[in-house]
Structure 1
């Protein structure tokens, strides 16, 4: 196993991680910006108000994107198993 194989595996793992976490993090970012905008417009400065909508939105986005996430993990696993077989 040389360095290029290790770099390719690491790059593939990081890309898969971004594909899995990205949609949920983008939803959290969007909800955070919207709640912050509403707080600014209404002059409500309650710090705990941002957590409940963000948690609910992240939970719903995980439920919505779960098939996509599982497919990405499955494809990554298959690629890793193929690369282990080809290392001989």
Structure 2
């Protein structure tokens, strides 16, 4: 019986889509309040997203590809808001 070893080279090309923020709700809230960020191209794995409110990292409570829910950190205002995922910012 002979064993044969095969090697397969698979080359793939793909594009990572930039995250996009469409809507933030509520428009105002205090420290510790919950904010829902709706958009596109977020990661459904919470740890793969980072959300900044006024430059401060927010605690992500849950995320899907189209929505991230965070709590407002101490010292943060609502703006500016940015989302970092897959090496790109929204």
The TM tier, using the shorter chain, reads under 0.3
Greater fraction strand: 2
Could you say which structure has the greater relative contact order, defined with CA pairs below 8 angstroms and 6 or more residues apart?
A: 1
TM-score by length of 1: 0.21
